[in-house]
Amino acid sequence: MIKLDLSGCSAFINQEAFVASLAKAREAFGVLESGTGAGHEFLGWNTLPSQIRQRQIDDCLAIVDDWIAKEVEMVVVIGIGGSYLGSLATIAALNHLFGYAMSSSSGPQVVFAGQNLSEEYLAELKDQLLVRNCATVVISKSGTTTEPAIAFRLVRNLIQRKYGREEARSRIVAITDANRGALRTLADREGYRTFVIPDDIGGRFSVLTPVGLLPIALAGYDIEALVAGARYMQRICAEDSDENPAIRYAAMRNALYDSGKDIELLASFHPKMRFFTEWWKQLFGESEGKEGKGLFPASALFTTDLHSMGQYIQQGQRKLFETVLSVENSRREVLLEEEEDDLDGLNYLAGKNVEYVNRMAQEGTRMAHIDGGVPNISIAIEQLDEYNLGQLFYFFEKACGISAYMLDVNPFDQPGVEAYKKNMFALLGKPQ
C-alpha cells in the first residue's frame, strides 16, 4: 500500500490547524460520496475500479492480439489532456528508458500524437508511419477536439493510402462517446472498432477506462494488475476516517494552501515518473484552478532539477511546498565498485548501490528544503509496477475530488479551457 508521511509539514502546520483541515476534508469527502456536490454527474470514476469486468479487459486484449498477429510495430495513440496523459504516464513509468527494443514489452511501440499542433512533430511521425507496420487508436470524448482531429485526419489518410480502405478499418480503433461527436459519426460510418468513454467519467479521471487501458495493454503491460491496484486503493479510500490517506493528503495540502503556500511541487527522484507528474498536474490543475482559487501544481525531477530549480526551491519566494513521490524498491541493481587509485574519490561508496546514493540524496534534500522553509509531504510506493501505479492513480483522483470540494469548486468541469479555442477558431475562420 502507498505510504503517506506528513511529518515534514509539522514545523509549518500546527496540530490544531491540521485537525481543523481534516474535519473540512471529511466534510468534503461526505459531499463526494453522497454525490451531492457540484459536477456530481461525473462521479463514475469513484467506483469504477470495482466495476470493471473481465469482458472489458478482454476486449482490450483482443485488439492487442489482433495487432500482434498483424505484426504491427508502431501504434499511434491520438488524444490530448485526459485522453492521453494517463496511458503515457504508465507506459513511461514501465518502459525501458533507453529504447523500446529493450523494453519488457512484447507488443508494438506506442507513440503519441494529437497533443500538440507542431508541424514538424506530425511530419516526423509520418516519416515513421511510412516505413513501419502501423495502426492507430484515436481517443476523444467530445469527438470534436481540434488537436487530435487534425492528427487523426493525417494518420487515417496515411493508413488508408498505405493499406487500402478495407484493411485500414482493422488498423483504426476509436474511443469516444457512445452517441455524440464527429469522431463517433466518422467511426460508425467507416465501420471502425470502437470503445465507449462512459458519460459520467471526465477525461482526466479516465485512465482506468479504455482510454488508458487499451494503450497500456498495447504497450505490453498488465492492465489487470493496474485495475487490481486501483481496486485495492478504492477500498482504502472509501473509509470515512481520519486515517483515509486521500482525506489526509487533501487536508494537509489545503492547510498549507491556507497558510500561504500556494504552489505544490510534485517531485520524484525517478526519471521514469516524469510523465506521471504531468498526469498529476493536469488532474489537479484542471480540477482546482478556477474561480481565482487553487494550488498551482508544478513538478520537478530530482536530482536533475536540484541543479536548476534547487536554488529557487531552497531560497526563493517561500510560497511552495513539496510532495515527493518515492519508490521504495528499485527493480534493478547497479553496484559501485572499488578502484585501486580512487582518482575520482568515490571509494567511500564502494559496495553500495546507486539507489542507496539516490536515497541519501532524497533524505538530504528533504532536510535541506524543510530547513529552508519548504514543507514536505512524502508519498511512497513499493515499486514501479502496474499494481502500484493503479493505487497511485486512484489515490490522487480521490484526493483531488475531496480537495476541490474543500475549495468549493466543481472538480469536474474546465470552462477556462474554452478561451484559447474561441480565439483560435476566430483566427482560423472556423465556420459557426
Q: Which residues bind ligand PA5 (CB under 6 A)?
A: 80-83, 140-142, 145, 148, 202-204, 286, 414
| Minimum distance, C-beta of residue 177 to ligand PA5, in the bound complex (Å) | 8
| Minimum distance, C-beta of residue 80 to ligand PA5, in the bound complex (Å) | 5
| Minimum distance, C-beta of residue 13 to ligand PA5, in the bound complex (Å) | 30
For residues 382 and 413, which CB has a smaller minimum distance to ligand PA5 in the complex? 413
Q: Is 422 a catalytic residue?
A: no
- Looking at 16, 166, 243, 307, which residue is catalytic? 307
Contact 292, 233 (CB under 8 A): no
Q: Is 421 a catalytic residue?
A: yes
Contact 255, 369 (CB under 8 A): no
| Minimum distance, C-beta of residue 286 to ligand PA5, in the bound complex (Å) | 5
DSSP strand pairing (74-78 vs 134-140): parallel
For residues 66 and 200, which CB has a smaller minimum distance to ligand PA5 in the complex? 200
For residues 80 and 174, which CB has a smaller minimum distance to ligand PA5 in the complex? 80
For residues 277 and 365, which CB has a smaller minimum distance to ligand PA5 in the complex? 277
Residue nearest to ligand PA5 (CB): 203
For residues 335 and 417, which CB has a smaller minimum distance to ligand PA5 in the complex? 417
Question: What is the distance in angstroms between the CA of the first residue and the CA of the last residue of the chain?
Answer: 51
Give the integer Cα–Cα distance in Å for 66 and 96.
Answer: 24
- Looking at 264, 278, 286, 322, which residue is catalytic? 286
Q: Is 286 a catalytic residue?
A: yes
| Minimum distance, C-beta of residue 178 to ligand PA5, in the bound complex (Å) | 14
| Minimum distance, C-beta of residue 155 to ligand PA5, in the bound complex (Å) | 15
For residues 30 and 198, which CB has a smaller minimum distance to ligand PA5 in the complex? 198
Residues acting as catalytic residues: 286, 307, 421
